Amino acid sequence: MTKNYYLIKKTALEARKLIVSCISDAGSGHPGGSLSMVEILGCLFHNHIKYDPKKPYWNKRDKLILSKGHGSPGLFSYLAIMGYFKTSQLHTFRKFGSILQGHPDLKCPGVEFCGGSLGIGLSFSIGDALAAKIDNSDRHIYTIIGDGESNEGQIWEAAMTATKYQIDNITVILDRNYVQQDSQTEDVMPLDIHSKNNNKTYTVSDKWRSFGWNVIDIDGHKIEQIDKAIKESKKTKNAPTIIIAHTIKGKGIKHMEQNPNWHGQAPKHEFLPIISTELESQFMISPSIIAGSSIDLEHKIKACKDAKADCIHLDVMDGIFVKNKTFDFKKIKELRKITTLPFDVHLMISNPLTHMKKYIDAGSDIISVHAESCNESSFGEIHDILINNNVGIGLAINPDTQLPKWSYKFLPTINQLVIMSVFPGKSGQKYIESTHSKTQKIIKLLSKHKFGGYIEADGGICNANLRQCFIDGARVFVGGNAIMGQTSVKNAILEFKNIIFNTIQNLLLSKANSIGGKDLVTKWINLHNEEKTTLLNNIATDLRYL
Amino acid sequence: MNTKLTDMRTAYGNMLIKLGKSNKKIVVVGADTTNSLKISSFGKIFQDRFFNVGIAEANLVSIAAGLSNAGKVVFASTYAIFVPGRCVDQIRNAIAYPSRDKKKGLNVKLVVSHGGISVGADGGSHQQLEDIAIMRTIPNMRVLIPADSISVSELTYIMSKKYGPFYMRMSRSKTPIIYNNSQKFLIGKGITLRDGTDCTIAACGIMVKMALDAARLLQKDGISCRIIDMFSIKPLDEKILEKAARETGLIITCEEHNTMAGMGSAICEIIADTYPVPIRRIGIKDQFGESVRDHEMPLLFKKHKLTSNDIASKVKEVRK
């Protein structure tokens, strides 16, 4: 289980929006490297760094050293979200008199290091870590360095020093996004080297390993992987740890992704509403592993992992709330051992409150309970228990259930609303068409009540209705037979993602068209690379926007 | 006046040990020159507060910054040539720039040895002649060049008590004792070593002794020279300089540094703003140094017109 998984997802989205808007407001700044480390920052702030925004100089605090200082919009956005200052202050970024300088400055509460000139922060962190050792303090230092930054020789001076002094109170995270100002890192100054001498490849991870560091390679956008790696780093004794977080520069905004032009360029104001829609289009594929013919759940989880599913949907049926019976918390506990993938647990059981603790302890990342099995009081209790245990809160409603009035007050903190498009109880049913209009209606209600979570479409989701479900507003898609019942889970998930990707492109073009007509549509298309421009031109022509 | 020669680095190392006993916050960092800098003995006594980071000066300076960021009083030492010359970026951005509330810069003391041409045999590559210029233009940085080992001890003590970044340059060679142990030193205050009415010679480091010798030569010719030890180059003692300009009408500056942007230039700036009088700057005229063996040192000083005779001649030349 990853603590606060859904909360981190939520603040990561908020951070991305803040990054883009503050850079756009400033007219300059570095979006690419800010967007690539958002999940890393989220994980650090929510789950690892000891801090108190009201007492930024609290002497028991941990320290976050952003060595790649040009990622300041990322850092500042998270500092604001975590309460160091108001998010509205982000609009002073890079402006006269602001505490939010172009690069991090101690003027800003929460900033521990004046980054900007690259290569210095790791040595600086080592100094702080050595001081903590002298003082017998349990302070932990978290340092984020860049891959372009790793061209600096001083990084490797520091690398040697950290192992000499067996510094284990430091966790370094390399934001390995493969892009620096001029071009791809591997073109400017390769970090992964292929030796023509012995025909071997030495990656940047090999380099760090050869310096005596504990090296952990992860996908730097997967919260569960970041969290696990940081936990491991804190347990490692007598050696420093570096987490090589493989990330995507400009992550979340397609035209910026892996494009060196967006290392240090501000997006124009006119694109912000489209970018905002794009960021809100992030989605998750959550395969339901009870679907499909096999009963080997472990095997199915492995298939989901290989197919890059975002989470695992676990349908718990007790034979009382629904006729069928599947498995309970004991099975979840077993499955927890084999994967870090988030568990999206759907409790189709009666009296869920009495079982809540067991499902939390089993390792659920989010627990959705049925509105039909709760009332205001029991859901309130469930809600509080989940919040206190840093587990996501889900509420599910059956096809013939409307969103209950008593749930409104919980909407701002609910992480997921599961709108069932089949009657729960067994897999393989057909999607109930009226769910589309129901979802659209509920969406309006949700925004009125400040809902900030995901809508999960669950029941009969397949290639045929996926597109409309996305347009309705669903962002988590439970794949039953359409994924787990297929010969290749990987291809099925890929197809899901393709359909959604195309739907998003339509959505963005339609947004551009609605606010700026043909002119804005053209400008938006031209932001993209050649290959994507052709695709977008075709879609826009089909939609008669051009 | 005592002509006994003593070693500045030994005075520095001994004072660090003395300070280290009473102040647990003092941490010393070196870069493979810790025996030469006489700081390794601190490391033997206070093992947990001493770090040798190897031949990695950028690392040295930045680790020092990190230690001070966590509340330590940090002394970082190696040869002059490897600190301002090699690490100006780290010094500027990691030590001098970070300011929190009223604390300007971090609490790091960069104490270096082997400044100037008096390094000798190692040659031009190792003779730092640009450090004053580099360091004095960095905001929040204070620059000290002591004249003898007593000054070194006292200034080391003062730096440990005074918050903020400092740069202090020592000489490689042993130097004559100029002060007695009761001498008081204040940052930003020059010390008048000899009063005079006809001219003022302001000097720093080992040039102070040269200036004193020049004053004795000039006395024979009936010229009364005031000698000021300007060990505090930044902040610079405006009052003592303005008074000297007013009372003696001529200032000669002496430093083992490029005459561009060094102590002499700093004095020109002050005098131009306060009481303009003629000034002549004695130093290295925009050149690099070269190797000499210790006994040949006078030849190198003669070449660059830095001897007491050269200083005396300059005074006479200007007064004509």
pLDDT in tens, B88-126: 999 999 999 999 989 999 999 999 999 999 999 999 999
Higher pLDDT, A454 or A426: A454
Q: Does A489 touch chain B (CB under 8 A)?
A: no
User: Chain A closest CA to B234's CA: distance in Å?
Assistant: 24
CA-based nearest residue to A129, from A45, A240, A26: A240
Q: Whole-number mean pLDDT of chain B?
A: 97
pLDDT band at B20 (very low <50, low <70, confident <90, very high): very high
- Residue A428 confidence class, pLDDT cut points 50, 70, 90: confident
Q: How sure is the predictor about B12, in pLDDT bands with cuts at 50, 70 and 90?
A: very high
Crossing angle of helices B8-22 and B149-161, rounded to 10°: 30
B67/A112 CB distance under 8 A: no
SS3 category, A253:
coil
C-alpha span between A82 and A349 (Å, rounded): 36
Picking from A12, A144, A6, the residue whose alpha carbon sits closest to that of residue A77 is: A12
Could you tell me which residues are beta bridge partners of residue A348?
A317
Q: At A462, is the secondary structure helix, strand, or coil?
A: coil
pLDDT band at B234 (very low <50, low <70, confident <90, very high): very high
Q: Is B27 on the interface with A (CB under 8 A)?
A: yes
Cα(A373)–Cα(A395) distance, integer angstroms: 10
ipTM of the prediction greater than 0.90, yes or no: yes
pLDDT in tens, B185-196: 999 999 999 999
- The closest alpha carbon to A29, from A248, A267, A266, belongs to A266
The number of beta carbons lying within 10 Å of the beta carbon of residue A178 is 20
| The pair of three-digit structure tokens given for residue A257, joined into one six-digit string | 């992704």
**Overall average pLDDT of the A189-208 stretch:** 96
Residue where the block lists tokens 């000899």: B194
Cβ <8 Å between A123 and B69: no
**Cβ-contact B62, B93 below 8 angstroms:** no
**What is d(CA A487, CA B290) in angstroms, rounded to the nearest whole number?**
79
What's the whole-number mean pLDDT along residues A93-105?
A: 97
Cα-Cα-Cα-Cα torsion A427, A433, A436, A438, nearest 10 degrees, comes to -90
Work out the mean pLDDT of chain A and round it to a whole number: 97
- Minimum CA–CA partner of A104 in chain B: B98
Q: Would the CB atoms of B62 and A128 count as touching at under 8 Å?
A: no
pLDDT at residue B1, as a whole number = 46
- Report CB contact under 8 Å: B98, A154: no
> What is the per-residue pLDDT for A80?
98
**Residue B3: per-residue pLDDT:** 72
CA pair distance A111, A78, nearest whole angstrom: 11
Nearest CB to A160: which of B54, B72, B97?
B54
Q: How are beta strands A312-317 and A343-348 bridged, if at all?
A: parallel
Cα separation, A297 vs A303, in Å, equals 10
Question: A-chain residues within 8 Å CB-CB of B96?
Answer: none
Hey, what amino acid is at B125? S
What average pLDDT does range B296-319 have in this prediction? 97
d(CA A171, CA A241): 5
| The two structure tokens encoding residue A295 | 């009963």
Q: Is B140 on the interface with A (CB under 8 A)?
A: no
Inter-residue contact A359 to A329 (CB < 8 Å): yes
Q: Which residue has the tokens 């190797």?
A: B291
Chain A interface includes B278 (CB < 8 A):
no
User: For B89-99, what is each residue's pLDDT tens digit?
Assistant: 999 999 999 99
Helices B308-319 and B207-220 sit at what angle, rounded to 10 degrees? Answer: 50
For the stretch A474-513, pLDDT in tens is 999 999 999 999 999 999 999 999 999 999 999 999 999 9
Q: How far apart are CA B33 and CA B81, in angstroms?
A: 12
B58–A113: do the CB atoms touch at under 8 Å?
Answer: no
Burial A422-461 (b: 16+ CB within 10 A, else e): bebebbeeebbeebbebbeebbeebeeeebbbbbbbbbbb
Which of B69, B72, B106 has the most A C-beta neighbours within 10 Å, making it the best mutation to test the interface with A? B69
Contact B93 A158 (CB under 8 A): no
Rounded Cα distance between A121 and A67, Å, is 4
Lowest-confidence region among A165-169, A294-298, B234-238, B253-257: A294-298
Per CB-CB distance under 8 Å, the chain A contacts of B59 are: 123, 154, 157-158, 161
Q: Which residue bears the tokens 């916050």? A: B25
Other C-beta atoms within 10 Å of B60: how many?
32
Copy the structure tokens of residue A127.
Answer: 């100094």
Quote the CA–CA distance of A32 and A30 in Å, as a whole number: 6
- H or E element that contains A483: helix A481-484
pLDDT digits (tens, 9 = 90+) for A433-473: 999 999 999 999 999 999 999 999 999 999 999 999 999 99
Whether pLDDT at B2 is above 60: no
Alpha-carbon distance of B171 to B8, in angstroms, equals 7
- Split at pLDDT 50, 70, 90, the class of A166 is very high
Q: Which amino acid is at A298?
A: E
The distance of A123 to chain B (nearest Cα, Å) reads 5
| B-contacting residues in A 59-118 (Cβ below 8 Å) | 105-107, 112-114, 116-117
Contact between B204 and B230 under an 8 Å Cβ cutoff? The reply is yes
Q: What is the DSSP string of chain B?
A: ----EE-HHHHHHHHHHHHHHH-TTEEEEESS-TTTTT-HHHHHHSGGGEEE--S-HHHHHHHHHHHHHTT-EEEEEEEGGGTHHHHHHHIIIIIIS--BTTB-S-SEEEEEE-BSGGG-TT-GGG-B-SHHHHHHTSTT-EEE--SSHHHHHHHHHHHHHS-S-EEEE--SS-EE--S-TT----TT--EEEE--SSEEEEE-TTHHHHHHHHHHHHHHTT--EEEEE--EEES--HHHHHHHHHHHS-EEEEEEEESSSSHHHHHHHHHHHH----EEEEEE-S-------GGGHHHHHHHTT-SHHHHHHHHHHHH-
The CA distance from A66 to A76, in Å, is 11
Per-residue model confidence (pLDDT) at position A279: 98
- Spatial CB neighbours of B136, under 8 Å, sequence gap ≥ 6: B143, B233, B234, B261, B266
Q: B130 catalytic, yes or no?
A: no
**Cβ within 8 Å of residue A451, ≥6 positions away:** A411, A412, A414, A417
Q: Does A543 contact chain B (CB < 8 Å)? A: no
For B176-187, how does the pLDDT look when each residue is reduced to its tens digit (9 = 90+)? 999 999 999 999
Closest to B128 in 3D by CA, of B140, B141, B143: B143
pLDDT of residue A251: 98
Q: Which of A106, A130, A161 minimises the CB distance to B67?
A: A130
Q: Which of chain B's residues have a Cβ under 8 Å away from the Cβ of A112?
A: 69
The Cα A494–Cα A483 span in angstroms is 10
User: Do the Cβ atoms of B164 and B105 come closer than 8 Å?
Assistant: yes
Q: What's residue A532's pLDDT?
A: 93
- The confidence score (pLDDT) of residue A295 equals 85
Work out the pLDDT band at A133, boundaries 50, 70, 90. Answer: very high
Per the CB < 8 Å rule, is B65 touching A117? no
Contact A117 B58 (CB under 8 A): no
Closest C-alpha to B26, from B75, B69, B80: B75
- Confidence (pLDDT) at A261: 94
| Inter-chain Cβ pairs, chain A and chain B, closer than 8 A | 103
State the pTM of this model.
0.96
So what's the pLDDT on residue A355? 97
In B, minimum Cα distance to A134 occurs at B48
Q: Tell me the C-alpha distance between A116 and B145, whole Å.
A: 31
Please state, in angstroms and rounded to a whole number, the distance separating the CA atoms of residues A521 and A270: 11
Tokens 């050792």, located at residue: A133
Chain B positions in Cβ-Cβ contact with residue A110 (cut-off 8 Å): none
**B94 part of contact set with chain A, CB < 8 Å:** yes
pLDDT at position A276 over 50? yes
Neighbouring CB atoms inside 10 A of B310's CB total 17
Chain B hits for A130, CB-CB cut-off 8 Å, are 27, 51, 63, 66-67
Distance from C-alpha of A39 to C-alpha of B227, rounded to nearest angstrom: 64
Amino acid letter, A300: K
